[in-house]
């Protein structure tokens, strides 16, 4: 808590958000908001063609209509705000290519943009208002996420929990709630937040649903607050509140430090590999070693990294796309054999590739003390490859390609967008969407309403 604000953490965040809605964002912040939106669409468009998004679309078919509401991507049809937020946010988290805020162990794009775009299309907001809402959603949620980590991640999936605050904040911004009602939206979001780690330690569809639920529950919280529904304003720091229940020693001053002056959206990680982010540093190290290796002569591969990476990705047998994306032994072996870990890495042919299967059996994961000490501020790994003749080669990767200290350039991000979006919607539509997103801050409401939607209205 800052000395300038004597109320609750939620009230301080709401005051920031309400004031942010009345001023122009710095050009750098706008640029990073557009990068986040480009990256979100890159993950959304292919994800919209896959379960569980397709299954949700079928389950909620009676909620779709020809007019009004927001676009449900993959269908071209429209649905009410909450339904569109639920399905689109779920779709954007399905292929594991969505953004990360490293310090909070959190994917903000899925719930924040999933809710923000649905709300913008529902209320008729222009591009500048949408980008401002995205920034506000990122700032509010990433800061709450930092305050409760790293202990929160022991049992809770941050995208499902913290994402609810981000979705509520983005929706509240587009509804133009005053600070009082904005605070109640966040307070209600706190008690709606959910998402258990166990849900993605098996081949289930629950993990992307966490992002969808966060988007829907956050949007509901804001809609309710807009009509006067109240929440407990001390729900974050209260003795039986969010911090007490979901963290050990939540550091609430971190949530409001430099609020409105330092923007976390400018420090996002954009994924360079199509899998769990805890595997990235090991993949980067393996790719650095690959040019000088005879893969047939590899006897053993040791991956030293931080404990959470072992807990989430030390999977020794893979048969499904989910298992492949959440296995560091598989993704490292696939990187060594094929030279990349992109969408095709978890195709049936790649999953069953005998060269990859043989190599992953030679992988051992261990906790490296330096990597553990650096987590979560840095996600690092050291990969040591031992050959049959006794020689060994090691590569320490202190960070990940795509992290703020080794970012994807605008051109690299555009290449990623085209690679993922073009197979889903076609080269021409992908190019048109990318061009529109790059200048979205000048786009009218009519453009936002049709954003990325194929065919006639």
* 3-class secondary-structure state, position 123: helix
The confidence score (pLDDT) of residue 244 equals 97
Round the average pLDDT of the chain to a whole number and report it: 95
Cα distances (angstroms) measured from residue 236 to each of 193, 194, 197, 244, 440: 12, 14, 21, 8, 34
Residue 299 is part of which domain span? Answer: 279-397
Q: Name the residue with tokens 């990859």.
A: 356
Q: What is the largest CA-CA distance in the chain?
A: 72
Distance CA 423, CA 407 (A): 25
Query: Is 139 a member of any domain?
Result: yes
The answer to whether position 402 is within a domain reads: no
Given strand 392-397, what is the order of strands in its sheet? 363-367, 298-305, 381-387, 392-397
User: Are residues 289 and 209 part of one domain?
Assistant: no
Does one domain contain both 229 and 185?
Answer: yes
Q: Is the pLDDT of residue 370 over 50?
A: yes
**Tens-place pLDDT, residues 24-75:** 899 999 999 999 999 999 999 999 999 999 999 999 999 998 677 999 999 9
In-domain check, residue 457: no
Residues 14 and 153 in one domain: yes
Number of folded domains in the chain?
2
**Beta strand 298-305 with 363-367: parallel, antiparallel or unpaired?**
parallel
Residues 71 and 181 in one domain: yes
Q: Indicate whether 105 and 86 sit together in one domain.
A: yes
Strand partners, 392: 386
3-state secondary structure of 49: coil
Q: Which of 353, 369, 397 is the last residue of a domain?
A: 397
CA-closest candidate to residue 271, choices 149, 53, 115, 101 = 101
20 and 158 inside one domain: yes
Q: What is the CATH number of the domain that holds 321?
A: 3.30.1330.120
CATH of the domain at 264: 1.10.4100.10
| Same domain membership, residue 288 and residue 308 | yes
- The beta strand positions in 13-76, using DSSP E, are 70-72
Residue 207 resides in a domain: yes
3-state secondary structure of 399: coil
Q: Are residues 267 and 285 in the same domain?
A: no
Two tokens, residue 27: 């050009």
| Statement to judge: residues 256 and 284 lie in one domain | no
Helices (H), 339-393: 348-351, 354-360, 369-374
Ramachandran category for residue 383: left, alpha or beta (phi over 0 → left; psi -120 to 50 → alpha): beta
Residue 429 lies in a domain: yes
Residue 318 lies in a domain: yes
Q: How many percent of the chain have pLDDT more than 70?
A: 98
Q: What is the pLDDT of residues 236-292, one digit of tens each?
A: 999 999 999 999 999 999 999 999 999 999 999 999 999 999 999 999 999 999 998
Nearest alpha carbon to residue 132 among 212, 49, 33, 43:
33
318 in the same domain as 229: no
Question: What contacts 24+ positions apart, CB below 8 Å, involve 176-179?
Answer: 176/21, 177/18, 177/222, 177/225, 177/226, 178/18, 179/11, 179/14, 179/15, 179/17, 179/18, 179/19
**Percent of the residues in the chain that have a pLDDT greater than 90, as a whole number:** 92
Give the 3-state secondary structure of residue 385: strand
Domain assignment present for 405: no
> Looking at 162-227, which runs of residues are DSSP E strands?
none
Do residues 205 and 226 both lie within one domain? yes
- 245 and 327 part of one domain: no
Q: What is the pLDDT of residues 331-365, one digit of tens each?
A: 999 999 999 999 899 999 999 999 999 999 999 99
319 within domain boundaries: yes
Q: Burial, 4: exposed, middle or buried (Cβ in 10 Å; 0-12, 13-18, 19+)?
A: exposed
């Amino acid at each position: 808590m800052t000395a300038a604000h004597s109320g609750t953490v939620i009230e301080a965040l709401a005051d920031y958000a309400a004031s942010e809605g009345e001023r122009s964002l710095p050009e750098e912040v706008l640029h990073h908001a557009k990068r986040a939106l480009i990256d979100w669409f890159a993950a959304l468009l292919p994800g919209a063609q896959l379960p569980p998004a397709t299954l949700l679309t079928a389950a909620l078919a009676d909620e779709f209509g020809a007019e009004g509401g927001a676009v449900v991507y993959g269908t071209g049809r429209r649905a009410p705000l909450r339904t569109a937020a639920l399905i689109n946010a779920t779709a954007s988290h399905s292929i594991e290519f969505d953004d990360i805020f490293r310090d909070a162990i959190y994917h903000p794009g899925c719930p924040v943009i999933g809710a923000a775009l649905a709300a913008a299309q529902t209320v008729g907001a222009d591009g500048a208002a949408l980008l401002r809402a995205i920034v506000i959603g990122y700032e509010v949620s990433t800061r709450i996420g930092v305050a409760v980590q790293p202990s929160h991640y022991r049992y809770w999936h941050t995208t499902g929990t913290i994402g609810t605050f981000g979705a509520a904040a983005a929706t509240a911004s587009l509804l133009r709630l005053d600070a009082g009602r904005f605070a109640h939206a966040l307070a209600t979001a706190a008690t709606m937040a959910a998402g258990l780690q166990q849900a993605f330690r098996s081949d289930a569809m629950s993990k992307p649903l966490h992002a969808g639920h966060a988007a829907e529950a956050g949007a509901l919280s804001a809609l309710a607050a807009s009509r006067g529904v109240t929440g407990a304003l001390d729900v974050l720091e209260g003795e039986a509140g969010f911090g007490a229940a979901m963290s050990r020693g939540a550091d609430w001053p971190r949530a409001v430090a430099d609020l409105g002056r330092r923007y976390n959206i400018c420090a996002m990680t954009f994924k360079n590999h199509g899998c769990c982010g805890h595997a990235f540093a090991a993949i980067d190290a393996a790719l650095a070693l690959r040019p000088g290796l005879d893969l047939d002569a590899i006897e053993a591969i040791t991956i030293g990294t931080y404990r959470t990476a072992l807990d989430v990705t030390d999977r020794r047998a893979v048969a499904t796309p989910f298992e492949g994306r959440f296995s560091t032994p598989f993704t490292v072996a696939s990187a060594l054999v094929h030279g990349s870990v992109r969408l095709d890495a978890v195709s049936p042919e790649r999953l069953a590739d005998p060269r990859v299967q043989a190599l992953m059996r030679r992988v051992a994961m261990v906790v490296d003390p330096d990597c553990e000490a650096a987590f979560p501020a840095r996600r690092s790994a050291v990969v040591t490859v031992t050959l049959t003749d006794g020689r060994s080669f090691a590569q320490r990767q202190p960070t990940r390609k795509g992290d703020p200290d080794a970012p994807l350039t605008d051109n690299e991000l555009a290449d990623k967008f085209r690679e993922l979006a073009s197979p889903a919607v076609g080269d021409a539509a992908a190019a048109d969407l990318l061009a529109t997103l790059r200048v979205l801050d000048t786009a009218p409401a009519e453009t936002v309403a049709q954003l990325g939607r194929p065919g006639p209205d």
